[in-house]
Amino acid sequence: MRTVRLAVIGAGPTCTYVMERLAATVPALRGRVALEIDIFDKGGQFGAGAVHSDAQPRTSFLNRIVGQVAFAADESVADAGPLLATDLRPTLYEWCRRKFRETGDPVFDVSKEDWPKRYVHGMALREVFGWYVDILREQPHVRVSMHDTEVVDVVDGGTELQVVGETGVVTADHVLFLTGHSWNDPAKNRRLRPLVDFAADRDATFVGAAYPLEETLGEDVAPAGSVVGCMGMGLTTIDVILWLTEGRGGTFEEVGGRLVYRPSGKEPASVVAFSEAGLFTFARPYNAKERDLAELEHRGVFLTEPAIDALRTSVATPGVVGRIGARRQLDFTRHVFPLVLLEMAHLHYTTLLGADFGKFLAARASARFRAFLAGASGGADPGAHLLEPVEEAVAAAVTLVDAVLQGASTYAEACEAADGWSFEAAFSRYLDVVLGQSGREQVLADTNAVARVAGGLERPWGHGLLLADNRFSWADTIAPIPAADLASPERYRDALVGFMRRDHLWAAQDNLTNPAKAAADGVWRDLRPVLGHAVDFGGLTAASHREFLDVYMRHHNRLANGAALEVMEKVLALVEHGVVDVSAGPRAAVAGNPDTGRYAVRGHVTGAERDVDVLVDAKVHAFDPELDTAPLYQRLLERGLVHKWRNPSATGDHFEPGGLDLTPDFHPVGPDDRVDRRLTFLGPPSEGVQFFQLGALRPNQDHHVMRDVLAWLREFLATSPSPDKAAVPAG
């Protein structure tokens, strides 16, 4: 019997998924191999890791509804191999319901559409991780050891690998890197270095990474009455804001249907939140798709993998991308983004005016869409060119719908005038979206008095009454604050509050009924694999790849990867209270002020000027082994075990996103082009050559996270002597 030694570096959620697959498959090896597993986690948070720790503040929420989180492979995962008993692979929802029955603790009393606290996810991860480890330990010839120490190096010993921890060395045949999110050293970042240097000589404080919040932003760092500045307005800043307010004893009270903040007196005097866009991430909508994901998740009409392949054939630039070899590369702005716009517009109007009208629009757009795929450039603005047939058709619908709503035309006349689509069906759906079911029924009860009845009804989700007021606009989607409201800090703050109130109404309407939320969720979330098909493995030119990450990923994060409505309502209450200051607006910048010894935030557009005592880099850092605060990846680089992936450019303007040069099955390619199949990297280290590689496992989705685990597992088990073929997932 041969012994196979596996070292796993990082014990967060992906490690839990790995242990589940091993627990399901190893028993079928029937003692033909002895397996030694050594798991390393710096913080000792086995199963959860630091980011999902069950010891983190109770103010942080998971960015996924409870019904869409899993821990194990299920029947949807193609060629998964053996599955564990159903009680050993609950979803997070099922785990919470079980805990509620056992404990009665209301934190576990959730519905599938609820957003759980992040520490609850951590509790579940640690428990199910323990189940899977116990199963493995029950097997003959399997040893599982856990080391709460940081791995600082991996040394290639020729026939074996030496995993060097702070407290000793473990020998391994295979090393699986599951290091998850890491933090960059701000002193190595050209943009941040001046801010770090300023703090070194003054009373100001610079916090280079926000987590763990209880350590980086305790009352000793950001005392009551201080002013804290947050660089960024995404999920990390939201965590910071809630930690510094609710986490210090502040409370929220519902008054007149809105949340009002009641301070504790321990919070900072102000939290100044600022970013390039000047906007928080938009509220995630109520997920109405959860009732039937297979049926209700959006399938692309225009933005599809075959469409990307057609463009790659017709208009892409030939190139050579390292070991990938010959690759026809697209320009995201000119080739892919026009399809994104067309898909969003089509889904927006299908949601607003119904499926029949959506089919009518698809037919109108078809000829120009096919020509675009065949190589028609679309001129200076290919997106507008591709949308033109849609906009023309919608303009005709606007004329009919708004004439009826304003009393300039009768309902019967509009029904007769509609050409190629059903006015009755479209108008009924439109009233449903704008006025709700009750409003629709009241209007259609007397079609001879549409304008009078509709004009007197409440519009519960903040839509304009006229179709002209509800048209799709990309410009308004990403920049919803009118230019006139950028004139002063006070005016911008009021405009942002107004937008957030409307956005929250839209989120409450849900992702199947609200046109804007349906378009954002359906395209930027449901069709994310299509975007990966366009981007991954050098699919874009170097310049376009850089632009995609710098520009379009920000749009993605704001539109479709925001926080839950429950969370954003708290943020809005804090803005209205005044403890959160958003007045810097778009294109804000920060620098040290030598006259005051504090940091100065300046609103380039609004003219706001705010001095802050504590400045936080409140963003999730992109993986970059050269900037990482931990020594492991820097030493792997120095040893030549790994190197960074590069998207080459014929003009010499190469782009290095930060991730490692990896094969499609996640093995590192060394500087000499040799592949070391003993090493496997999942998660952020692969984000560079691939796109969006980290996320919680989803149930019933054949999810990419589990497929990545299986890609590793198949090869790992194949190295064992004569494994039972039934135990090895097909590849």
Structure confidence at residue 727 as a pLDDT band (50, 70, 90): very low
Residue 43's SS3 state is coil
Instruction: Reply yes or no on whether the pLDDT at 721 is more than 70.
Output: no
- 359 strand-pairing partners: none
Residue linked to tokens 């804000």: 588
Please, which residues bridge with residue 3 across strands?
34
User: Would you say how long the chain is, in residues?
Assistant: 731
Q: pLDDT tens digits, residue range 233-243?
A: 999 999 999 99
Q: Is the pLDDT of residue 34 over 80?
A: yes
The mean pLDDT value of the chain amounts to: 94
pLDDT at 724 over 90: no
pLDDT of res. 606? 97
Q: Which residues touch 268 (CB under 8 Å, ≥6 apart)?
A: 222, 223, 224, 225, 226, 227, 228, 244, 579, 614
Cα–Cα distance, 193 to 13 (Å, whole number):
33
Whether the per-residue pLDDT at 693 is higher than 80: the answer is no
**Cβ neighbours of 411 (radius 10 Å):** 20
Average pLDDT over residues 283-312: 95
Least Cα distance to 621 among 99, 343, 210 occurs for 210
Mean pLDDT of 335-359: 98
Tokens of 318: 């030939």
pLDDT in tens, 415-436: 999 999 999 999 999 999 999 9
Which residues contact residue 410 at a Cβ distance below 8 angstroms, ignoring those fewer than 6 apart?
A: 404, 447, 448
Q: Are strands 161-165 and 168-172 parallel, antiparallel or unpaired?
A: antiparallel
Evaluate if residue 602 carries a pLDDT over 70.
Answer: yes
Predicted pLDDT of residue 725? 42
For 262, counting Cβ atoms within 10 Å of its Cβ (0-12 exposed, 13-18 middle, 19+ buried), the class is exposed
Q: How is residue 60 written in tokens?
A: 């942080």
Residue type, 422: S
**pLDDT for the residue numbered 390:** 98
Cα–Cα distance, 561 to 526 (Å, whole number)? 12
3-state helix, strand, coil in the chain (%, to 5): 45, 15, 40
Least confident of 264-273, 408-417, 642-651: 642-651
2-180+694-727 under CATH 3.40.50, yes or no? no
Cβ-contact 161, 676 below 8 angstroms: no
Q: CA 132, CA 26: separation in Å to the nearest integer?
A: 11
Contact 186, 580 (CB under 8 A): no
Cβ atoms 455, 465 nearer than 8 A: yes
494-540 tens-digit pLDDT: 999 999 999 999 999 999 999 999 999 999 999 999 999 999 999 99
Is residue 637 classed as helix, strand or coil in its secondary structure? helix
SS3 94: helix
With a cut of 80, say whether residue 699 has pLDDT above it. Answer: yes
* pLDDT score, position 2: 80
- Three-state DSSP state, 584: coil
Query: What confidence score (pLDDT) does residue 456 get?
Result: 95
Domain residue extents for the chain? 2-180+694-727, 190-281+572-617, 288-560
CA distance 221 to 206: 10
For 723-731, what is the mean pLDDT? 46
Query: How far from chain centre, in Å, is Cα 156?
Result: 35
- Which residue's structure tokens are 């605060």? 629
Q: What 3-state class would DSSP assign to 100?
A: helix
Q: Are 271 and 618 in contact (CB under 8 A)?
A: no
Q: Contact, 361 vs 393, CB < 8 A?
A: yes
Alpha helices by DSSP H, listed for 205-354, are: 213-216, 235-244, 293-296, 305-314, 337-353
Q: How far apart are CA 101 and CA 418, in angstroms?
A: 56
Give the model's pLDDT for residue 730. 47
The pLDDT assigned to 720 comes to 56
State how far the Cα of 111 lies from the Cα of 90, in Å rounded to an integer: 15
CB atoms within 10 A of CB 218: 11
| 386-398: average pLDDT | 97
The C-alpha torsion from 336 through 686 and 122 to 223, rounded to 10°, is -90
Each residue's pLDDT tens digit, 605-631: 999 999 999 999 999 899 999 999 999
642: three-class secondary structure by DSSP: coil
Band of residue 731 on the pLDDT scale cut at 50, 70, 90: very low
Non-local CB neighbours of 603 within 8 Å, separated by 6+ positions = 274, 278, 489, 492, 583, 584, 585, 586, 587, 588, 609
Could you please report the per-residue DSSP string of 461-496? Answer: T---SSGGGG---HHHHH--S-GGGGSSHHHHHHHH
Report pTM: 0.94
Q: Does residue 42 have a pLDDT over 60?
A: yes
**Separation of alpha carbons 688 and 41, rounded Å:** 24
Would you call 696 helix, strand, or coil by DSSP?
coil
In whole angstroms, what is the distance from residue 668 CA to residue 642 CA? 6
pLDDT tens readout for residues 463-477? 999 999 999 999 999
φ/ψ of residue 672, rounded to 5: -90, 10
Residue range 662-678, pLDDT digits in tens: 999 999 998 788 999 99
Q: What is the reported pLDDT for 552?
A: 97
Mean of the pLDDT values across residues 299-315?
98
CA distances from 291 to 117, 286, 295, 566, 647 (A): 22, 12, 9, 20, 41
Instruction: For residues 294-315, give the mean pLDDT.
Output: 97
CATH number given to 190-281+572-617: 3.50.50.60
Determine the average pLDDT of the residues in 574-602: 97
The radius of gyration of the chain from alpha carbons, rounded to an integer in Å, stands at 27
pLDDT at 729: 57
Burial of 298 (0-12, 13-18, 19+ CB in 10 A): buried
Mean pLDDT to the nearest integer, 651-671: 92
d(Cα 360, Cα 353) in Å, to the nearest integer? Answer: 11
Q: At what angle do helices 489-509 and 565-577 cross, to 10 degrees?
A: 160
Q: Which residue has the tokens 């040290």?
A: 592
